[in-house]
Structure 1
Amino acid sequence: MPPDPATPPDLATPPDPADRRRWLALAVVMTAAFMDLVDVTIVNIAIPSIERDLSATFGSIQWITAGYALAFAAGLITGGRLGDIYGRKRLFLLGITGFTLASALCGFAVSAEMLVASRLLQGAMAALMVPQVLSIIHVTFPAHERGKVFGMFGAIVGLGAVSGPLLGALLTQWNLFGLEWRPIFLINLPVGIAGVILGRKFITESKAPKALRLDVVGVVLVTVAMLMLVYPLTRGRELDWPLWGHLCMAGSVLVFAAFVAYEKAKTRKDGSPLVELSLFKMKSFAAGIAVQLTFGVSLGIFFLVWTLYMQIGLGWTPLRAGLTGLPFSLAVSTAAGLSVQKLVPRFGRKVLQAGALTMAAGVLLYRWEAGRYGMDISTWQMVPPLVVMGLGMGLIVAPLTDAVLSDVPRDHSGSASGLINTVQQMGHALGLGLVSVVFFGVIDGRTGKTPAAVATAFGDGFQNALWWVAAVLVGIFLLMFALPKRRVPETGAAPQPPERDRVLVG
């Protein structure tokens, strides 16, 4: 995609704070991030309709859902680095264009094979688009404004987390123009086209000020390592956890180690590695990445088990299940905005730790209600624990991203953003793998043939999984002691030079 002739391609300093264009640019990139978040979850609701319409096999159905995640996770680090090298605006526009075209291919797929291939392409394009979102925010807004911006970003994350299933349920149930499931993909077309047009106009180009080259060997090593880890986790239960899957996951550790060794050598040789390992010397970045990974595990477990519990265990319709999640979404959005604008500047790290404990308390309350009310539990009885969980999650998601990027120089913001998204996806994959142990391990062989037996088995599995989620959240609380303690008060002063930007200090 050709560079914007009106904007110098090497611009890496934020625009004048009075420039309102940056808020329009923020709206564009956040819309793209929301589109990606929704697309991750919207497909699950429509799977029965897709299966009937395309006569898809069980294996194809698995790949329709897992192919996106695999392509997305494998390409995130590379996508972030490409933005540093060739320009974040350029890669964002390339990614959103490809994502929109892939969505059209998904919507007009004539076979299960075509849909699988289109989902793989969609995930690969998302891997180019998504890392640029945080990078563009990081280089566009001065340090004293980023708290407000990341609060908005956290609200978008919360909204996207549960609106996908609801939107998928509505679009499938409405059967617009007789298209059944296809609108869940076609809805991306007007959004993506608008994003391309407005992005070209309002996003300011930026890239690393020093010349960087793409580390091809690093790309191959990290992609192979990610696939060796994520693929067996995705297909493990379906294939009854074969030996090759365990060997593959164990081997991924060796490949990751080889990747780190090569990146160190690459840094010494020409200073242009795929991953800037010096980022991990920053306490805020290293600790934040560890928390992001662990937090991803808890969310990976909860959201899948929660969906299965409501729709299969309790027999609820997709629409009822989607509506039940709305209080959670609203709570996340509300708390995310308050956390970075009002609470973190005053209380610092304690806000994130309070969020972990609050979310754990909501999980335990949910477990108690599931045990007390059984299959008679109602939507209204689920609202209190979901609100508590949402408030806790909102206190974490926005300030955590702020903390991870606080000390990162702008010339490495793409690589850092790619790492943030990658560890989130790795955490989700690990959480999904654990579902086979903490949930399916409880219900296997117990479902019987009656609705009551199914509800009892799924209720027990749900309660067992919630114990694990609560334990992981307590672990996150302990990990957060490694985060910086306090946030610098916002004085309204001009932002410091990029290499000295500080949002959180130890």
Structure 2
Amino acid sequence: MTDQLVPPTVAGRTTPPSPRTGPVLLVLLSAMFFAQFDFFVVNVAAPSLEKSIHAGPAALELVVGGYAFAYAAGMITGGRLGDKYGYRRLFVIGTIAFGVTSLLCGIAVSPEQLIVARLAQGLAGAVMVPQVLAVVTADFPDEKKPRAMAWYGAAAGLGSIAGQVLGGALIAADFAGLGWRTIFLINVPFCVVIAAAAMRVLPARTHARRVGLDPVGAFGVSLALALLLVPLTMGHSSDWPAWTWTSMALAVPVALVTLRWERRLGARGGDPVLVFPLFRSPSFRGGVVASVAFMVYFGSFMFTLTLLLQSGLDLGPFQAGLVFSPMGILFTATSMIGGRLTDRWGMSALVVSSGVIALGLGALAARLFTAGSGTGLPWIVGCLCLIGAGNGVVLPALFGAALMRVRAQDAGIASGILTTTQQFAGAAGVAVIGAVFFAVAGHEATSAGWATAMGWATAISVAMVLVVMWTTWTFKRFTGPGATRGADVPAAHV
């Protein structure tokens, strides 16, 4: 996402320059745009879903977090399938599947149907998106990779903006009386066009690389996290019945069995989903911790603030989307220059930028606690500007800091683990902080109740950002200005 953070050239591959990098990049980034769009667009649609198909708080959290969960669960496997069977083939399959599952989302008539369709949509995205970075890594000449990654970050930022703004506009326009359904149905024709264009412009060759799959490990990790996240999501709305505690307890043995399997697979020379030697690096461990804390805050903040704006402050979907615009614009702008800042100032740039995020969140929380539903939109927008500016520097550079001590041959799997961790953390943030939000707001929430709930959710987000700030500060012990330069990493997902 910055001009200093460039994906690695995988050992054993040739990287012949593509003569048409412009069209290739346009096709790839179109898919990235829609993957980001569909993560954020549901935030704006949440109140409409509540009224139209009677989606309760737990269902809303599963609709939002379920997409991120499924997306993360399939990310590493999707990337390895591309290595094994060819990037163009998997990209086209993933794009068509994304269109089909978007159609299923658009015609859902119950919360249960929408949740299942969103899970399937997340899995389709997990097949489609890893091929974006893979093609850039394998087929773009080295001198064009920095610019490609900068545009990758811009596409992700624009996707998040469009999810809030364009999504709100589509719902407000209510084309043919479809309401919220248009936010999903609009994907279908675009996916057809992107898949057709990919068949024409993406390189057809499969790069020779023997790579093993680890379905047992992927399933075990996903199952352990599902056993934990589902009860956390649904427990508060059902008064924490016995099954929620049983499920969370079962997550522990499932996780232990999965970890044992991963160790044994690695010892036999296989390709486990979790590569434990990576965690021996202090920088990698710190990057994982910082990424988890960041995405717990970011995923939940976008979800809960949308609910406050529409349910607490009575804004329409389009108006609520516009509130997020300055945040998204500043994120995109600072992500394009963040590499220069970290190149000059090292980890100090991340520490300061994390402080800017914490300042914006803290100011918003303080205002919500003191003014309640009287918190004005100018104050909210001002806080979002600080948050967006800091996000654009911190999120991309976390990858560079985490992977600067990783061996070149391990960079691909390491970046996959970090990306997967981010997505799981985003789903966890929606589940856990969303549960706190709804618990404080109450079943019959008033405007004041929504504001208080958002104040507590934002206070938890401040704590998460302080973890990011502390973790990046510890990087200063073994880094200096320019430490992230040339780091062999891909951009993060926003």
Take 1:457 and 1:384, find their aligned partners in 2: how far apart are those partners? 22
Take 1:206 and 1:283, find their aligned partners in 2: how far apart are those partners? 37
Tell me if 1:420 matches 2:418: yes
Take 2:63 and 2:440, find their aligned partners in 1: how far apart are those partners? 27
Deviations for 1:222-262, whole angstroms, at most 9, x for unmatched residues? 23223212222332222223343234234324323322322
Q: Which moved more, 1:124-133 or 1:281-290?
A: 281-290
Residues 313 and 455, structure 1, Cα contact 8 Å, conserved in 2: yes
Tell me if 1:167 matches 2:162: no
Deviations for 1:325-362, whole angstroms, at most 9, x for unmatched residues? 1111111111111102x212212222222211110011
* Length-normalised TM-score, structure 2: 0.85
Take 2:455 and 2:20, find their aligned partners in 1: how far apart are those partners? 48
Tell me if 1:392 matches 2:355: no
- 2:450 is aligned to 458
- Please give the secondary structure, in 1, of the residue aligned with 2:238: coil
Take 2:462 and 2:57, find their aligned partners in 1: how far apart are those partners? 32
- How far residue 437 of structure 1 moved from its aligned partner, in angstroms, is 5.8
Unaligned runs of 5+ in 2: 1-10
- 1:344 is aligned to 342
Residues 64 and 430, structure 2, Cα contact 8 Å, conserved in 1: no
Take 1:417 and 1:87, find their aligned partners in 2: how far apart are those partners? 19
Aligned-pair identity in percent equals 32
- 1:38 is aligned to 37
- The 3 A distance-change label for structure 1 pair 99 and 473 is same
Residues 46 and 169, structure 1, Cα contact 8 Å, conserved in 2: yes
Residues 84 and 414, structure 1, Cα contact 8 Å, conserved in 2: no
- The 3 A distance-change label for structure 1 pair 462 and 125 is same
- How far residue 295 of structure 1 moved from its aligned partner, in angstroms, is 0.6
Take 1:211 and 1:478, find their aligned partners in 2: how far apart are those partners? 40
Match of 1:376 among 362, 374, 377: 374
- 1:267 is aligned to 266
- How far residue 488 of structure 1 moved from its aligned partner, in angstroms, is 5.8
- 1:4 is aligned to none
- How far residue 317 of structure 1 moved from its aligned partner, in angstroms, is 1.8
Q: Where do 1:6-85 residues align within 5 Å? A: 12-16=13-17, 19=18, 21-47=20-46, 49=48, 64-85=63-84
Q: Which amino acid aligns with 1:12?
A: R
Q: Where do 1:426-437 residues align within 5 Å? A: 426-436=424-434
Residues 236 and 435, structure 2, Cα contact 8 Å, conserved in 1: no
- 1:467 is aligned to 459
Q: Which moved more, 1:33-42 or 1:192-201?
A: 192-201
- How far residue 89 of structure 1 moved from its aligned partner, in angstroms, is 3.3
- 1:360 is aligned to 358
Take 1:180 and 1:286, find their aligned partners in 2: how far apart are those partners? 44
- 1:487 is aligned to 482
- 2:4 is aligned to none
Q: Which amino acid aligns with 2:393?
A: L
Q: Which amino acid aligns with 1:198?
A: A
- 1:280 is aligned to 279
- Please give the secondary structure, in 2, of the residue aligned with 1:364: helix
- 2:213 is aligned to 214
Unaligned runs of 5+ in 1: 1-9, 448-453
- 2:442 is aligned to 444
Take 2:58 and 2:366, find their aligned partners in 1: how far apart are those partners? 36
Q: Where do 1:146-157 residues align within 5 Å? A: 146-157=145-156
- How far residue 298 of structure 1 moved from its aligned partner, in angstroms, is 1.1
- 1:324 is aligned to 323
Tell me if 1:118 matches 2:117: yes
Residues 283 and 401, structure 2, Cα contact 8 Å, conserved in 1: yes
Take 1:489 and 1:457, find their aligned partners in 2: how far apart are those partners? 44
- The 3 A distance-change label for structure 1 pair 220 and 430 is closer
Report which structure shows greater RCO (CA 8 Å, sep ≥6): 2
Take 1:316 and 1:155, find their aligned partners in 2: how far apart are those partners? 28
Q: Which amino acid aligns with 1:395?
A: V
Take 1:237 and 1:417, find their aligned partners in 2: how far apart are those partners? 34
- How far residue 39 of structure 1 moved from its aligned partner, in angstroms, is 0.8
Deviations for 1:51-91, whole angstroms, at most 9, x for unmatched residues? 66667788766654454344323322322332333333332
Residues 292 and 420, structure 1, Cα contact 8 Å, conserved in 2: yes
Q: Which amino acid aligns with 1:153?
A: Y
Take 2:13 and 2:254, find their aligned partners in 1: how far apart are those partners? 34
- The 3 A distance-change label for structure 1 pair 437 and 125 is closer
Residues 350 and 472, structure 2, Cα contact 8 Å, conserved in 1: yes
- The 3 A distance-change label for structure 1 pair 66 and 273 is closer
Residues 79 and 418, structure 1, Cα contact 8 Å, conserved in 2: no
- Please give the secondary structure, in 2, of the residue aligned with 1:325: helix
- How far residue 98 of structure 1 moved from its aligned partner, in angstroms, is 0.8
Q: Which amino acid aligns with 1:316?
A: L
Q: Which moved more, 1:39-48 or 1:286-295?
A: 39-48
Residues 70 and 231, structure 1, Cα contact 8 Å, conserved in 2: no
Take 2:166 and 2:323, find their aligned partners in 1: how far apart are those partners? 13
- How far residue 193 of structure 1 moved from its aligned partner, in angstroms, is 2.1
